Amino acid sequence: MMYSETLSNYLKKLRTDRDLTLQALAEQSGISRASLSRIEKGEVSPTADTLGALATVYGLPISVLLSPLERDFEPLIRRGDQQLWLDDRNGFERRSVSPPSRSLKCELVEGALSPNQSIAYSAPAMPGQEHHLLLLSGALSITVEGNVYQLKTGDCVRYRLYGASQFETGRQAARYLIALAAGE
């Protein structure tokens, strides 16, 4: 698993910079205090659901939560150098395809979700963020604020995210590209 002390320290710093106790963050995020403590100590890697909940509390995109793993901005990034984050519990893989930079307004992410998996986010990290999702292979059901989109290979859906969302696979795995752009 691609997880580091740098990330655990950064997540702790985000919390303490906002004068939040572990208990307060647990109450706001719906993540147990014990789980948050283990993440901040670097004992476990956060899941996709956990990162989504933390991003919502902090009002930051997930890429910013993972930004301590970035290097300085380069205009070209080779596949072998792209940041890869794995959530083994949910069978989810997230690769930051775009060269990393906190200053850019759009990022490209490749996602892969194993068969018979579901990842739900109760709220967006950044309300109004524009998403363009292209399904590269497999089949994927996306629910965006109650609207369900059944995607097959080659299908593309775009939306602005203000509420809950969910990604689900059936018997087939799904691999997709998603472009995330700054909100309105």
pLDDT in tens, 30-58: 999 999 999 999 888 888 889 889 988 98
Q: In terms of domains, do 96 and 62 share one?
A: no
Q: Per residue in 50-104, pLDDT tens?
A: 988 998 898 887 877 776 655 555 678 889 988 888 998 899 999 989 886 666 6
pTM over 0.75: no
Same domain, yes or no: 53 and 107: no
Tokens 């659901």 correspond to what residue? 49
Consecutive H or E run containing 26: helix 22-29
Decide if pLDDT at 29 tops 90.
yes
78 shares a domain with 62: no
Provide the CA 182 distance to its chain's centre, in angstroms: 15
Q: Do residue 138 and residue 155 come from a single domain?
A: yes
Number of folded domains that form the chain: 2
58 shares its domain with 87: no
